[in-house]
Amino acid sequence: MPAPTVLVAPPATGPVLDIAVVLGLLALIIVVARIAGTLVAKVGIPPVVGEIAAGVLLGPSLLGMELSNDLFPTDQRGFLDVLARVGLVLFMFVVGLELDLKLIKGREKVAGAVSVCSIILPFSLGIGLAHLFVTSDATKALKPEGADFWPFALFMGAAMSITAFPVLARILTDRRMHRTETGGLALACAATDDIIAWTLLAVVLAIAGVDGGHGHLPSWAIYLAIPFVLLAIFVVRPALTWLTRAYHRAGELTPTILSVVLVGMLLFAATTEVLGIHYIFGAFLFGAIIPHEQAAALRHEILVRLEQISVLLLLPVFFLISGLKVNIQGLGTEHIVPLLAILAVAIVGKYVGAYVGARLQKVPHWQASSLGLLMNTRGLTELIILNVGLEKGLLSPELFTLMVIMALVTTVMTGPLLGFTYPQRRVARDIAEAERAALGEEAVDRILVLAHDGQDNRLLVDLAIGALGGARPAEIVIADLTPQGRALEVGSGMSLDLAEMAAAMERQQVLVHHGEGQGVPVRVIAHPSADVQEDLVELVGVLQPQGLVAWSDDPSLDAVVAANESPVVVAPAGTPVPDADAPVVVHGSNDTDGDAAIVLGARLALVRGTTLEVRGDGRRTTAARTALAARGVRVVDAAEDAGPLAAAPLVLSAASAGQGGITVRAELDAAPTDFATVTLGEVAAPA
C-alpha cells in the first residue's frame, strides 16, 4: 500500500504579520496623536497639525533612523500601510461628502475668480521652481530619479495649488467666521478650488503616465476616466436618491444603507486606481455624488459613523506612515535655500493669486487679504497629495520632507495672521450685522428673549408679549446660543454644528407658534458659539431691543444686562407656565422699578383677561391702583385663599422690592411714571 502523500506548505517569502506588535503600535499611535492634537489646539492651532507633527516626530526626524526602525519594525510597516490607505479612502469620501455646491450659489463670480487665480499663479510658480531645481547644480539632487521633467514640474505646480477644504472649514468654524460674509466666500472659494485642484491633479497624473501597476489594462484605459466620471454624475448619482428614500422610510441609518455607501465608496476607489489615476479620486467622487437634497440628516449620520474609525484610528496611522518617510535630520544647510524657495512660492502664489482674484471682483482689501490667507491652508490634503507624488516617483525623499514642512507652516500661520486682517472684534460685529439683516428692520419694538434648554421657554414668550403691550409693528427675537462643545477636527465635518443648530431651531418652533398664535412674530437666532456671552452682548448692541427677558440661571445674564439699557424681566429657573386664567400679582415699590413692574403686570392682566393685584404701600403704588382701575384694568384687593383648585397667580416683583418671583428692572435712567395722567394706551396698546 503506497504511503500517503503529505502536503507541506511552502515557506513564507514575505513579511509575517505579528498581530501583537501591530496592535501595540496602533495603541501607541492613537495615544500620541490625541495628545499632540490636544496640546496644539490649546494654542489655537488646528489639531490635525499636531497629529501630523506627531507622525513626523515618531519617525527618524526625532528618534533617528535606528531607533525609529526598532520602534516600528520595517517588516510590520506594510500592514500599517494598508490601514493607512483605507483611512485615506474614508477621509477622501468624507471630503467629497462635505463638498456642497450650494456654498457657491450667489458667489459664483468671486469664487471662480479667486479659485482660478489662486491656482494659476502657484501652479505656474511651481513649474518655474521645478525648472530651477532641475537646472541648478545646487538643487539637482532634489529631482526624483527616473522622473521626466514635465511630469515632475506639473506635479510640483499641482502640489503648490492645493487648498485643504476640511481644515479651512474648521478654522472658519473655530473662529466663528463661517457665519460671516467673508467665511461664506472662503467656503465657496475653497469648494471651487477643491473641484479644480483635484481635477487638475488627476490630469497631471494621467499626463505623467504613472498607473496603479495593473498591467492587464492597456495604456489607453486611463481615458476611460472621463466616461466613468460622466457615468457617476448622470447615472449613479440619480440612482443614489434611493438612499434618501430608504433613510426617510426607516427613520434612521440602517446597516443596509451604510453597507451600500461603503460598497460604492470602495468600488469607486478601486475603479479609479485600476484606470491609472489614484484610488483617492474615486472615494472623493463617490462622496461628492451622494445626494444633498433633503439628505442633510442622512449625510450627518454617515459622517458620524465614519469619522470615529477614520479620525481616531486610521488617519493617525497615515500620519505615522508619512512621518516615517520624513527625515529632517537628513537635511543639511544646502536645503535651507530650497526650503525658503518652496515656502515663498507656496505662500506668495496662493496669497497673491487669491487676493488679485478677489480684488478683480471688487472685494474690499481686508476681505481679499483674509481670503488669500485662508486659501493658503493646506494641512492634511497637501500631505495626501505629497504621498501620492512620493508613491508615483514624482518626489524625492528630500523634496518630500521639504514639502511636508511647507504644508505644516502654511497651515499653522493661517490662524495667527487672520488675527491681523480679520480680528475677532470684526468677526463678532459682522456676525451681529448679518443677524440683524436677517431679522429685517421692519420691527419698531423688539423684545430679546434668552432661551434656555431644559426650561419651559413659553413663559418667557408670554412675558415678552406682555412687555410689548400690544405695540405694532413688533417682534420677539429668541436667542438660543449653545456652547460649541469641542474643537472641530479633520474628518468630523461641520455637519455636527449644523445638526445642533437644526435641533435648537426645532426646539424653538414651539415658541414661534406660541407667539404667532397671539399675533406677535417670533424669530429665532440659534447656533453653536465659541463664546456665548460675547455673542449675546454683541447681539444686544446690534439689535438694541426695547426689552430683555431671561431666566435667572442664565450664565450670561449679568454681562448681557450690563450691556442692555432697556427694561429687564428675569424669571426664576423652573418657573412653570401659569394657567390661562391665573391672576397677576405685583409686588411694587416706590421707584422706577416698581413703576415698570406695575405696568408689565397691567399689560399681562389685559392680554390674559385676568385680574391684577398690586401689593405694596406708598403714594405711587396707591395712585397706580386707582389710575389703572379707572382705565379699565381689573384691579382687585388681596385675594382670599380660594382653595387648592384655584389657579396659582403669576407673581411679579420690582427688582428693588426684594420679594422674589419674576423680577422687573426699569429702563436705565427712566423717569418716574405719573399714574395720574397715564392712559390705557400707554399701558397696553390695542392689538
pLDDT tens digits, 233-288 = 899 999 999 998 898 888 888 999 999 999 999 999 999 888 877 788 888 889 88
Q: What residues contact residue 681 under an 8 Å CB cut-off, 6+ apart?
A: none
Calpha distance 510→663 (Å, rounded): 25
Calpha distance 349→363 (Å, rounded): 19
Domains of the chain, start order: 19-212+219-434 (1.20.1530.20), 444-483+497-574 (3.40.50.620), 578-639+647-686 (3.40.50)
Which residue stretches of 375-488 are H helix?
379-391, 397-412, 414-421, 424-439, 458-468
* Residue 639 cell numbers, joined: 385675594
Q: Could you give phi then psi for residue 253, rounded to 5 degrees?
A: -85, 105
pLDDT of residue 437: 59
Q: Which amino acid is at 217?
A: L
Calpha distance 545→300 (Å, rounded): 36
Write the CA distances from 169 to 306, 313, 372, 413, integer angstroms. 18, 22, 15, 15
Write the CA distances from 417 to 351, 367, 376, 423, 643, integer angstroms. 12, 13, 11, 9, 68
pLDDT of residue 348: 94
Peptide bond into 473 cis (omega under 30): yes
Strands of the 522-529 sheet, one edge to the other: 522-529, 474-483, 445-450, 547-551, 568-571, 662-665, 650-654, 584-587, 612-615, 635-636
Helix (H, G, I), strand (E, B) or coil at 490: coil
Calpha distance 321→315 (Å, rounded): 10
Give the residue carrying C-alpha cell 496623536: 33
Strand partners, 548: 448, 568
Helix (H, G, I), strand (E, B) or coil at 527: strand
Ranges of the chain whose pLDDT falls below 70: 1-14, 100-106, 173-174, 176, 178-179, 209-222, 431-444, 484-509, 527-528, 530, 638-646, 676-687
* Residue 30 cell numbers, joined: 492613537
**Short-list 325, 342, 329, CA closest to 383:** 325
Calpha distance 459→549 (Å, rounded): 10
pLDDT of residue 101: 66
**Short-list 396, 319, 395, 373, CA closest to 163:** 373
| Contact in structure between 327 and 59 (CB atoms under 8 Å) | yes
| Contact in structure between 380 and 490 (CB atoms under 8 Å) | yes
Burial of 59 (0-12, 13-18, 19+ CB in 10 A): buried
Write the CA distances from 261 to 240, 255, 268, 300, 602, integer angstroms. 9, 10, 11, 13, 61
DSSP category for residue 161: T
Q: What residues contact residue 192 under an 8 Å CB cut-off, 6+ apart?
A: 104, 111, 112, 114, 115
pLDDT of residue 466: 83
Q: What residues contact residue 102 under an 8 Å CB cut-off, 6+ apart?
A: 292
Calpha distance 173→504 (Å, rounded): 18
* Residue 557 cell numbers, joined: 445674564
Beta carbons within 10 angstroms of residue 171's beta carbon: 26
DSSP category for residue 553: T
pLDDT of residue 171: 77
pLDDT of residue 493: 45
Calculate the average pLDDT of the chain. 80
| Contact in structure between 122 and 350 (CB atoms under 8 Å) | yes
Give the residue carrying C-alpha cell 536645503: 335
| Pairing of β 662-665 and β 584-587 | unpaired
Calpha distance 668→565 (Å, rounded): 5
Q: What is the distance of C-alpha 31 from the center of its chain? A: 25
Write the CA distances from 474 to 68, 129, 364, 668, integer angstroms. 69, 62, 35, 21
* Residue 105 cell numbers, joined: 450659489
Which residue stretches of 240-278 are H helix?
241-250, 255-274
Calpha distance 47→42 (Å, rounded): 9
Count of residues making up the chain:
687
Calpha distance 455→487 (Å, rounded): 27
Instruction: Quote the pTM value.
Output: 0.65
499-525 core/surface letters (b: 16 or more CB in 10 A; e: else):
bbeeebbebbeebbebbeeeebbbbbb
| Pairing of β 662-665 and β 568-571 | antiparallel
Contacts 24+ apart (CB under 8 A), 560-568: 560/450, 560/533, 560/536, 561/665, 563/537, 564/540, 565/667, 565/668, 565/669, 566/667, 567/467, 567/596, 567/600, 567/664, 567/665, 567/666, 567/667, 567/670, 568/655, 568/664, 568/665
Q: Which amino acid is at 150?
A: W
| Contact in structure between 120 and 360 (CB atoms under 8 Å) | no
Calpha distance 152→135 (Å, rounded): 13
Helix (H, G, I), strand (E, B) or coil at 444: coil
